[in-house]
Amino acid sequence: MISGAEIMVKCLQEEGVEIVFGYPGAVICPFFDKLCDTDIKAVLVRQEQNAAHAASGYARALLKVGVCVATSGPGALNLITGIATAYMDSIPMVAITGQVRSDVLGRDVFQEADITGACESFVKHSYLVKNTADLPRVFKEAFHIASTGRPGPVLIDVPVDVQEGTVDSFEYPEKVNIIGYKPSVHGHPMQIKRALEMISKSERPVICAGGGVLTSGSKPKFREFAQKTNIPVVSTMMGIGVMPSEDPLYVGMIGSHGVKAANMTIHNADLVILCGARVGDRAVAAPEQVAERAKVIHIDIDPAEIGKNMKTTIPIVGDMKNVISQMLEDIDYTAPAEWTEKVCKWEEDYVAKPKKFDGFVEPKSFIAKLSSMLRQKAILIADVGQNQIWCANNFKMSDGRFFTSGGMGTMGYSVPAAVGAKFARPNRDVVAVCGDGSFQMSLNELATIAQNNLNVKIIVMQNNVLGMVHELQDIHYNGRYAITELSDVPDFGVIAKAYGIESAVAESNEDAEKYAEKMLKSDKPFILICKVNPKTSSR
């Protein structure tokens, strides 16, 4: 005889899960109890939302499914923001929630919430498991769905009696067979051929790369393609890192918060090759204008993204890795020098010159400097707000990774995601950059960091305001700062001390660089507080 909880744990082992991020509760106890018998590490976060963010950071760092676990009712509900954040950024994740006994479902008993119903629009799929015997199939399907096609979160809600129930034996299915789920991974050869023809005729092509290039693991092939064709590359926020920042072909991030040269490039192109990018409103505010001037080739694993935001001339549905490899094999084209020179000229002409204020750290140049101090393959995780834009436009790397909550823009993402990323990649530099607003949304995770002695570095850009909205109020609301002032910001150094974490306060770039050096040398967690002038703009 084997219990449902044991089956759940065995399923995780079968899937090669090494770590789960979670928070306990009465109806998920059977699962956690059985988890103790295995090598799977259970990391206790300090609020369930952060379990999902940590699983997200972990998944991104390893390109592997991240797992988070919470109890029923409030525990599950707290997960929602994290699940939705992962959904928007196509992060492979399995969220497991305990549920009240199946015979009292729907009676509004203590800590009951219809979590599968509540999560409907933020999950790739969800299960409410009614029979212990269904668990192996459900887990197999969940991991398959989360990690294939366009990745995304899958929720498994397991009533406590299903965890306690027993069946005769455990057998993990070898294959999944879901008739309605067969993502097409190979691009249609005819479409690829047409795309190559279109590229060969273009005079001003540009590649716009999104997160899909990174999640599909096709970065090396992608770089090869760009280099072979000499086509300039711009990226969305999710696509940062597809090219080395200093590569002459890489122009920068597009969009309302992006680099001017990148926007100039995409708006002057006669052919836009969208690679794993959904071009959300923040990336291209007026996609119809781009599509009017340029032909559009859109490569994406998710057919629903093609034509959703930008009119497409040639759609190619398939896994980026397969499509780009195929294109690489058959392409014989070099972008005209006239065009690439023009793009380079824009890059030179539109260099932003950050304004410095005495007694403050200038964050843009500091992030650029910090990049050079980090080891190769470092992971920088930006939170949401001005800090996100400073990082997106100034984090320079050749092979590092940049994580952020791109689609949902969830404040408080960086610290828990850094926890997950550090567990995934203990030998890499993992730095979370947040503002004083976003830091205060998840500083409870300092306890998780301290408990696990996790070598996570946190940089807090403290400007005593909620900078992004503050800036918006400057522009659109005549400088009336409605609830954006964080007056009497707590002494973060004292808070750090309370958790036994070392910290330093920088009031100039020299300070910041000096402390950053110290921070990166230490093998312990560290919080670097940078005082930033609230007048510093995001771009």
Partner 1 sequence: MKYTLSVLVENHPGVLSKVSGLFSRRGFNIDSLAVGITEDSNISRITIVAHGDEYIIEQLEKQLNKLIPVIKVRTYTDGEFISRELSLIKVNCPAKQRLDIMKIAELMEAKIVDVAINTMTLQFADTLERFETLTDLLKPYGIREIVRTGTVAIEKDSAAQRKPTV
- Binding footprint of partner 1 on the chain (CB under 8 A): 116-117, 120-121, 124-125, 128, 145, 178-181, 302-304, 307-308
Helix (H) or strand (E) holding 459: strand 457-462
Give whichever of 194 and 308 is closer to partner 1, judged by the CB atom: 308
Distance of CA 277 to the CA centre of its chain: 14
Closer to partner 1 by Cβ: residue 128 or 380: 128
The SS3 assignment for 157 reads strand
Q: How far is the CB of 103 from partner 1 (least distance, A)?
A: 16
Q: How far is the CB of 153 from partner 1 (least distance, A)?
A: 13
Minimum CB separation from partner 1 for residue 312, in Å?
A: 11
The CB-of-125 to partner 1 minimum distance in angstroms stands at 4
C-beta of 131 vs 451, nearer to partner 1: 131
Q: By C-alpha distance, which of 294, 412, 431 is closest to 369?
A: 431
Q: b/e map of 238-260 (b: 16 or more CB within 10 Å)?
A: bbbbbbebeeebbbbbbbebbbb
Contact at 8 Å (CB) between 489 and 462?
A: yes
Which is closer to partner 1, CB of 16 or CB of 180?
180
Smallest gap, in angstroms, from Cβ of residue 175 to partner 1?
16
- Residue 278 near residue 305 (C-beta atoms within 8 A): yes
Nearer to partner 1, 61 or 301 (CB): 301
**What beta strand segments (E) does 250-331 contain?**
250-253, 271-275, 295-300, 314-317
Measure the CA–CA gap between 163 and 140, rounded to whole angstroms. Answer: 17
Provide, rounded to whole angstroms, the least separation between the CB of residue 481 and partner 1: 33
Of the pair 104, 304, the CB lying nearest partner 1 is at 304
Angle at 473 between CA 469 and CA 478, to 5 degrees: 175
The sign one gets for the Cα dihedral 67, 73, 74, 80 is positive
Q: CB of 275: closest distance to partner 1 in angstroms?
A: 19
**Shortest CB 215 distance to partner 1, Å:** 17
Euclidean distance between the first and the last CA atom of the chain, given in angstroms as a whole number: 62
Q: Which CB sits closer to partner 1, 122 or 360?
A: 122
CA 156 → CA 28, 71, 86, 123, 479, distances in Å? 12, 12, 15, 10, 47
Question: DSSP string of 88-141?
Answer: HTT--EEEEEEE--GGGTTS--TT---HHHHTGGG-SEEEE---GGGHHHHHHH
